[in-house]
Structure 1
Amino acid sequence: MSRHRVAIVGCGNVSDMHFRGYLDRPDRVEIVAAVDPDPARRAWAAENFGVTDTYASIGELLAGADFEVASVCTPSTVRLEAVRELAEGGKHLLVEKPMADDMTEAREIVRTAGDAGVLLAVDQNFRDHYAFGLARDAIAAGRIGRVLGIDQSELMWREVVGWRAEARHHALAVMGVHWFDGFRYLIDAQPDAADRRDADWIVARTFTHPAMHTAGRPTPSSRCTSAASR
């Protein structure tokens, strides 16, 4: 089994999970560097996770560190620029979700990685946070029959904070991508190969509140119901 040398690009809140996840597998992963333009976040990475090599930019990282894979935890608003620079440097990529803020940028990210000949993956960690695995096993075993539709209700108050509150983004960009990924994960488990195709249609409903501050479209908050029909 290979032991991969990884650099964490972006030391914001979500990077905490990446640092901890990699440190839990020292037999497979070595964190060799971290990047963030904010010196306070670089210090945080060094103090909390023992990363001694930190850089203020991707350019400095590429020039100074020996690594194979970049775990890209930047805001999605600068994701394409980060991916382009890392891919051109020959680094494989694990990017946080959402991969991009619109389809044009998403396609460009895929094209950029393909042209550079590097691997590209999107972190979909909520497959393990929710009960998707239990439902997938039941579907694969044929215990609930053919899946024709999926409905999910999420009853929670979730307020967008930090950089995302100031950036225009789709209302479902934060949590909705997890549900859509989960639906596809479940459908792909169907025993009959003919049923393993994407949904024909999806409906989503979100609610927000005037107390929530966000740029652009409303923040998904107290209740989100999504359905996928096949």
Structure 2
Amino acid sequence: MSVKTVAVIGCGIGRSHIVEGYVPHPDRFRVKAICDLNEERLQTIGDEFGIEQRTTSFKELLADESIDIIDICTPPGLHLEQVLDALAAGKHVVCEKPLTGSLKGVDRIIEAEKHARGALMPIFQYRYGDGIEKAKRIVEAGIAGKPYVGSVETFWLRTGEYYSVPWRGKWETELGGVLVTHALHLHDMMLNLMGPVAKVFGRVATRVNDIEVEDCASASLLMQNGALVSLSCTLGSQEQISRLRLHFENVTFESSHGAYTPGKDPWKIIAANDAVQARIDEVIGDWQPVAPRFTTQMAHFHDFLCGKGPLPVTTKDARRAIELVTAIYQSSDSGEEIALPVGPESPKYATWRARTR
């Protein structure tokens, strides 16, 4: 098995990538280098994991031919140019969410990928865990049947202390609010199980914190398959939960309520009758436990790099999630329902920052 060398750029959430994504797979990955502008954090993380190569220079790592993968964990406003630079340098790239802050930016990345030697994998780690992966297997087996209705709730808490970090809460550097940096996870999980969106009506507001971006939002979706889905999210919940409840013809799924582990068991999987339950048991009765979050996503990424499986998350997946954000922002500003796909004709295609508070 080929061991891939990794440089982690940004040691905040980057530490979680190391702990969950790379340390559990010593036969697949070796974190060779880390990069951070905070010298104290750089040294602390380097000492913790025995990483000798430590630098404040992103360009230095792009030029290092011994590095296979650039893992971008920097503030969101830096993602677009760093992804493009890493692809141009011939590296494989992992990038935290949001991949970028507009559909125009995503489309620039998609165009760059066509000419790149390396592959890009956006991060959507909440797709991985026993609960959601069982649900996905049941849906893909055709057991769930027609999708009816779903609700997705991202009820988290972020206070002024969270926004004391200079880049947070600003359009230029965080790129958006609760829709972009928090609820995007749950919304991707829903899309992964319910399919693409046809129409969106949404509202956003800034009610919890004194910030530029939104911290409350709600939306009503019509899916392409005819199902109806409601989304609601806030950063002002005194109890933090993440919850999906999805109703199909033959099965109702409800996720665990762990704010940051909604893909893990226990999930409720409620069959319509004994016959449906028997079919479910055939599909997941021999289930082998799946490691949650980054551990499984990175394992699948290594399989892809070795030609043993598909790319687990693609830029098209990231575009679909960002397209939903774009439609909600556009609907909130216009007061109108927005039909997807959203293209260059949208006033929000190139930027979200013109939103009216």
Identify the TM-score tier after normalising by the shorter chain. Answer: 0.7 to 0.9
Give the aligned partner of residue 179 of structure 1.
186
Give the aligned partner of residue 112 of structure 1.
112
Give the aligned partner of residue 164 of structure 1.
168
1:164 is paired with a residue whose SS is coil
Moved more, 48-57 or 147-156: 147-156
- Pairwise mapping of residues 125-144 of structure 1 onto structure 2 (< 5 A)? 125-128=125-128, 131-144=131-144
**Identical pairs, percent:** 25
Q: What per-residue deviation string (whole Å, max 9, x for no partner) do you get for residues 92-143 of structure 1?
A: 1111111001111111122223323321110100112694323323323444
Give the aligned partner of residue 17 of structure 1.
16
Give the aligned partner of residue 200 of structure 1.
198
TM-score, normalization by structure 1: 0.81
Deviation at 1:77, TM superposition (A): 0.6
Question: For the pair shown, which has the larger CA radius of gyration, 1 or 2?
Answer: 2
User: Is 2:73 the partner of 1:73?
Assistant: yes
CA contact (8 A) 2:8 2:14 kept: yes
Q: List gaps (5 residues or longer) in structure 2.
A: 226-357
1:153 is paired with a residue whose SS is strand
2:100 is paired with a residue whose SS is coil
Q: Aligned-residue CA RMSD in angstroms? A: 2.5
User: Is 2:214 the partner of 1:218?
Assistant: yes
CA contact (8 A) 1:153 1:226 kept: no
Larger relative contact order (Cα-Cα within 8 Å, sequence gap ≥ 6): 2
Deviation at 1:18, TM superposition (A): 0.7
2:32 is paired with a residue whose SS is strand
For residues 44 and 145 of structure 1, do their structure 2 counterparts lie closer, same or farther at Cα, with a shift above 3 Å needed?
same
TM-score, normalization by structure 2: 0.54
- Pairwise mapping of residues 32-111 of structure 1 onto structure 2 (< 5 A)? 32-64=32-64, 66-111=66-111
Give the aligned partner of residue 193 of structure 1.
none
Which whole-Å CA distance do the structure 2 matches of 1:121 and 1:40 have between them?
29
Which whole-Å CA distance do the structure 2 matches of 1:17 and 1:141 have between them?
33
Moved more, 129-138 or 44-53: 129-138
2:197 is paired with a residue whose SS is coil
